[in-house]
């Protein structure tokens, strides 16, 4: 007779590479994926069952028993467990942290699962329609709500969250009940098994869009790269794909880089599928996040829209994963479990037999390569629905036309013309602040942070100089501490550019978009609304301006200064700068009439600049791919970084040397170990950093060597305060 497994192997939220064995008490039965509370040290902690066994290496007398299981069913499915096990192995991260980190914080802390209440949907009544037409509904809020629900508008019935998003109002349940009392609205409770039909699209798909939707192969884990020029209607394609998959009874996971920066997209999805969307991102309160997660797990909401950690949401019968703006580095977690949600999405798709769509106008070289070599299917949208293409990029030679505070005469002329025609000018400058640095022209001294390898920056309305790395602030020095000469402000940031523009165009509305200007809640939405309402206006901003916004009035995009990014030594700086230019260019000429894109550069003849073509990204980055092939860099090689950090330079270096030695002795044929070398930012916040780069043309030698070396160095004694981090497929070498 087989022995029933009475041992559970349990993952705990501890930075240790092992599972913990516990005895399963009589009367309790456990399955992998289930949550448990177990004794640990003198207290107790939350864990997840990973495996069951009949025997343990722990002697029976020392084997402790599981305290309880808060739920009788597993929270994570076998496939999700498998995904996280794979992830922990691939990123060389402790399984317990990866697994527990996949749960909403409230569950990790031991809170119970919430009870779900069915969501109410709101519909306008004929009386409500009349009240709107007759002016009976007079309040601004009343009108906004009724208008959002008018027949023929977005949808027939919306849930409160979607209504709030659609109207931009904070809507309490009471307010909606009040309108119901007046007879304007009626509440309906949908049956989760019979969700309301999606509202239909306003558009007929173009032939290219239809071909992209057809390229999807439901029921397989096949990845598809959807490469479409900016404004080509990728979102519409996603929505139609989602529609199909939902109609087939399966769920959809929609990953986006950042919710806060692109509020329009999540609203659009919510409006299209009212009452079916669970939003998941770190900006939510713990309770909200838990309810959204649970609604997805129970199949009450069958579309999850979320940022990278939403990848691990349990969704019964997952049928499609969409990764929008797949090139965005926000998909890579930059500390702890350093996974890339885009790459793990591909793995989840395989495990769940669900197709994965990676969408972008500027795909990563990795994804492009996978598509051109046939590993991914490839669908292209080369024109916009109205047949137009992104405008050509014109260059302004800054050696001939010297910029004054960042602005050249040809750019100023083009701005005049654009504004005179009633269109908007977008100016991209990827640097915040007022003047970048305080420098002494006499002796070359530059104000630096005392704790980091970084220069202090100056912001308007802040009398202090600020370090962007650690937040250190100090009074602005007036004179050079070395030679006593007065200091000059050098360099250009968005705030200073804004002031210069105000002098050139004193009567034109001017809007600035950067992290400093949108710090307050609602500030970004307000700025985006204002841009949409204005005709002629100037918008200055950082890369934030290049994110997926759809503004019809942009006649000119000016790129102030990207030379530094284009010719940087960092592996991806060039690629990222090209992506930024193309994304920014994509904001121009969407409405009536074409648009212009002017790029100010001191290198107009450089092949990369001459090759700039926002209408054909793959052709434009072909030379970069060749360079990567020659250097055996991604996608033609694989990289990992091992970072070592400690409180003083000596200790850091000694340790980095040791780890490099472990790596060299564990390395087999095909793995190169480079370094240790001081990190590009050697000192940050009074800590020192060195790094070792691993490079290999095949994945296996890299992962095997790293696993062996890690095992060896874990046996070493680390001095207190020393930290080692492994970064697989790093997005930046800095």
Footprint of Zn ion on residues 189-228 (CB under 5 A)? none
Q: Find the helix packing angle between 234-247 and 263-272, rounded to 10°.
A: 40
Task: Tell me the C-alpha distance between 732 and 734, whole Å.
Answer: 5
Binding site partner of 440, from Zn ion, ligand ADP, none, Cβ cut-off 5-8 A by kind: Zn ion
Does 469 help bind Zn ion (rule: CB under 5 A)?
Answer: yes
| Sign of the C-alpha dihedral computed for residues 452, 454, 458 and 461 taken in this order | negative
Written as six digits, the tokens of 211 are 């071909």
Shortest distance, position 356 Cβ to ligand ADP, whole Å: 18
Does 472 help bind Zn ion (rule: CB under 5 A)?
Answer: yes
Does 466 help bind Zn ion (rule: CB under 5 A)?
Answer: no
Footprint of Zn ion on residues 414-453 (CB under 5 A)? 440, 442-443, 445, 449, 451-452
Q: How far is CA 392 from CA 361, 370, 581, in A?
A: 15, 27, 11
Written as six digits, the tokens of 80 are 């999700």
* Comparison of 87 and 233: residue with beta carbon closer to ligand ADP: 233
Number of residues that bind Zn ion (CB under 5 A): 15
* Comparison of 353 and 462: residue with beta carbon closer to Zn ion: 462
* Comparison of 76 and 440: residue with beta carbon closer to Zn ion: 440
Written as six digits, the tokens of 519 are 């710090």
Q: How far is CA 525 from CA 147, 153, 281, 543, 671, in A?
A: 20, 21, 17, 16, 49
Contact present, 619 and 706 (Cβ < 8 Å) = no
Task: Tell me the C-alpha distance between 256 and 362, whole Å.
Answer: 15
Binding site partner of 92, from Zn ion, ligand ADP, none, Cβ cut-off 5-8 A by kind: none
Shortest distance, position 569 Cβ to Zn ion, whole Å: 22
Binding site partner of 232, from Zn ion, ligand ADP, none, Cβ cut-off 5-8 A by kind: ligand ADP
* Comparison of 453 and 550: residue with beta carbon closer to ligand ADP: 550
Stretch that binds Zn ion, among 183-191, 477-485, 619-627, 665-673 (CB under 5 A): 477-485
Shortest distance, position 169 Cβ to ligand ADP, whole Å: 23
| Alpha carbons within 13 A on the beta-carbon side of 674 | 12
- Entry field: residues in the chain: 734
Which of 81, 75, 117 lies closest to 99 in space, CA to CA? 81
Given strand 318-324, what is the order of strands in its sheet? 277-280, 303-306, 251-255, 318-324, 356-360, 223-228, 377-381
When binding is defined by CB under 5 A, the residue of 255, 467, 537, 582 that contacts Zn ion is 467
Written as six digits, the tokens of 158 are 């919306």
Reported in sequence order, the residue ranges of 125-209 that DSSP labels E, i.e. its strands, are 157-159, 185-188
Shortest distance, position 586 Cβ to ligand ADP, whole Å: 7
Written as six digits, the tokens of 323 are 């990764």
Task: Tell me the C-alpha distance between 167 and 513, whole Å.
Answer: 22
* Comparison of 209 and 309: residue with beta carbon closer to ligand ADP: 209
Binding site partner of 449, from Zn ion, ligand ADP, none, Cβ cut-off 5-8 A by kind: Zn ion
Binding site partner of 65, from Zn ion, ligand ADP, none, Cβ cut-off 5-8 A by kind: none
Shortest distance, position 525 Cβ to ligand ADP, whole Å: 17
* Comparison of 53 and 483: residue with beta carbon closer to Zn ion: 483
Stretch that binds Zn ion, among 8-16, 69-77, 97-105, 482-490 (CB under 5 A): 482-490
* Comparison of 9 and 455: residue with beta carbon closer to Zn ion: 455
Contact present, 161 and 236 (Cβ < 8 Å) = no
Shortest distance, position 226 Cβ to ligand ADP, whole Å: 9
Shortest distance, position 383 Cβ to ligand ADP, whole Å: 11
* Comparison of 94 and 433: residue with beta carbon closer to Zn ion: 433
Q: How far is CA 440 from CA 431, 474, 492, in A?
A: 21, 17, 16
When binding is defined by CB under 5 A, the residue of 188, 409, 483, 631 that contacts Zn ion is 483
Q: What angle do CA 131, 137, 142 make, to 5 degrees?
A: 120
Q: Which pairing describes strands 424-428 and 537-541: parallel, antiparallel, or unpaired?
A: parallel
Footprint of Zn ion on residues 485-544 (CB under 5 A)? 485
Q: How far is CA 296 from CA 31, 84, 289, in A?
A: 21, 18, 11
Does 470 help bind Zn ion (rule: CB under 5 A)?
Answer: yes
Convert 143-158 to b/e letters by CB count within 10 Å (16 or more is b).
Answer: ebbbebbeeeebbbbb
* Comparison of 361 and 679: residue with beta carbon closer to ligand ADP: 361
Task: Tell me the C-alpha distance between 580 and 570, whole Å.
Answer: 16
* Comparison of 235 and 408: residue with beta carbon closer to ligand ADP: 235
Interaction site with ligand ADP (CB under 6 A)? 203-206, 209, 228, 230-236, 385, 548, 550
Does 480 help bind Zn ion (rule: CB under 5 A)?
Answer: yes
* Comparison of 234 and 291: residue with beta carbon closer to ligand ADP: 234
Shortest distance, position 203 Cβ to ligand ADP, whole Å: 3
Contacts to Zn ion by CB under 5 A: 440, 442-443, 445, 449, 451-452, 467, 469-470, 472, 480, 482-483, 485
């Amino acid at each position: 007779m087989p022995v029933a497994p009475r041992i559970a192997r349990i993952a705990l939220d501890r930075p240790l590479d092992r599972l913990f064995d516990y005895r399963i008490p009589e009367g309790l039965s456990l399955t992998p994926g289930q949550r448990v509370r177990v004794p640990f040290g003198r207290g107790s902690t939350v864990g997840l069952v990973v495996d069951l066994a009949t025997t343990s290496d722990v002697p029976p007398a020392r084997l402790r028993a599981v305290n309880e299981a808060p739920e009788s069913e597993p929270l994570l499915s076998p496939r999700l467990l498998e995904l996280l096990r794979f992830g922990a192995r691939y990123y060389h991260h402790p399984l317990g942290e990866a697994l527990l980190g996949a749960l909403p914080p409230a569950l990790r802390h031991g809170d119970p699962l919430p009870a779900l209440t069915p969501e109410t949907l709101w519909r306008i009544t004929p009386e409500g329609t009349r009240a709107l037409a007759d002016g009976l509904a007079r309040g601004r809020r009343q009108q906004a709500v009724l208008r959002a629900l008018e027949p023929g508008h977005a949808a027939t019935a919306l849930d409160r969250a979607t209504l709030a998003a659609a109207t931009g109002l904070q809507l309490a349940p009471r307010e909606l009940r009040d309108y119901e009392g007046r007879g304007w609205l009626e509440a309906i409770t949908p049956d989760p098994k019979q969700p309301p039909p999606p509202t239909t699209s306003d558009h007929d798909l173009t032939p290219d869009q239809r071909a992209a939707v057809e390229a999807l192969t439901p029921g397989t884990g096949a990845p598809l790269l959807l490469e479409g020029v900016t404004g080509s209607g990728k979102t519409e394609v996603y929505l139609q794909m989602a529609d199909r998959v939902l109609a087939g009874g399966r769920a959809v996971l929609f990953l986006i880089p950042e919710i806060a920066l692109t509020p329009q997209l999540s609203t659009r999805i919510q409006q299209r599928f009212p009452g079916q969307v669970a939003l998941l991102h770190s900006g939510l309160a713990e309770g909200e996040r838990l309810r959204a997660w649970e609604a997805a797990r129970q199949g009450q909401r069958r579309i999850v829209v979320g940022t990278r950690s939403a990848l691990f949401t349990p969704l019964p019968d997952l049928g499609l994963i969409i990764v929008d703006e797949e090139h965005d580095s926000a998909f890579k977690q930059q500390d702890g479990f350093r996974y890339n949600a885009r790459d793990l999405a591909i793995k989840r798709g395989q495990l769940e037999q669900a197709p994965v769509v990676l969408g972008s106008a500027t795909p990563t070289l990795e994804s492009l390569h996978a598509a051109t070599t046939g590993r991914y299917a490839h669908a292209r949208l080369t024109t916009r629905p109205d047949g137009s293409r992104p405008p050509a990029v014109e260059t302004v030679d800054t050696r001939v036309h010297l910029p004054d505070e960042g602005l050249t005469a040809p750019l100023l002329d083009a701005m005049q013309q654009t504004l005179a025609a009633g269109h908007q000018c977008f100016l991209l400058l990827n640097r915040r602040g007022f003047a970048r640095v305080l420098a002494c022209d006499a002796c070359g001294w530059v104000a630096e942070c005392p704790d980091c390898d970084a220069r202090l920056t100056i912001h308007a309305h802040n009398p202090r100089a600020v370090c962007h790395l650690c937040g250190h602030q100090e009074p602005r020095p007036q004179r050079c501490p070395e030679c006593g000469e007065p200091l000059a402000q050098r360099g250009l940031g968005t705030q200073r550019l804004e002031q210069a523009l105000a002098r050139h165009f004193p009567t034109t509305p001017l809007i600035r978009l950067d992290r400093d200007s949108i710090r307050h809640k609602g500030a970004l939405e307000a700025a985006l609304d204002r841009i949409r309402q204005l005709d002629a206006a100037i918008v200055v901003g950082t890369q934030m301006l290049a994110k997926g916004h759809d503004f019809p009035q942009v006649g000119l995009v000016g790129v102030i200064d990207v030379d530094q990014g284009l010719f940087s030594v960092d592996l991806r700086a060039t690629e990222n700068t090209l992506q930024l230019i193309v994304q920014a260019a994509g904001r121009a000429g969407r409405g009536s009439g074409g648009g212009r894109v002017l790029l100010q550069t001191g290198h107009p003849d450089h092949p990369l600049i001459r090759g700039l073509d926002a209408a054909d990204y793959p052709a434009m980055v072909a030379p970069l791919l060749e360079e990567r092939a020659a250097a055996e860099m991604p996608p033609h090689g694989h990289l990992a970084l091992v970072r070592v950090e400690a409180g003083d330079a000596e200790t850091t270096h000694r340790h980095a040397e040791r780890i490099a030695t472990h790596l060299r002795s564990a390395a087999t044929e095909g793995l190169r170990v480079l370094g240790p070398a001081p990190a590009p930012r050697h000192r940050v916040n009074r800590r020192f950093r060195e790094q070792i780069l691993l490079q290999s043309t095949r994945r296996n030698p890299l992962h095997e060597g790293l696993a062996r070396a890690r095992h060896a160095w874990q046996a070493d004694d680390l001095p207190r305060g020393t930290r080692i981090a492994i970064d697989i497929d790093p997005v930046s070498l800095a």
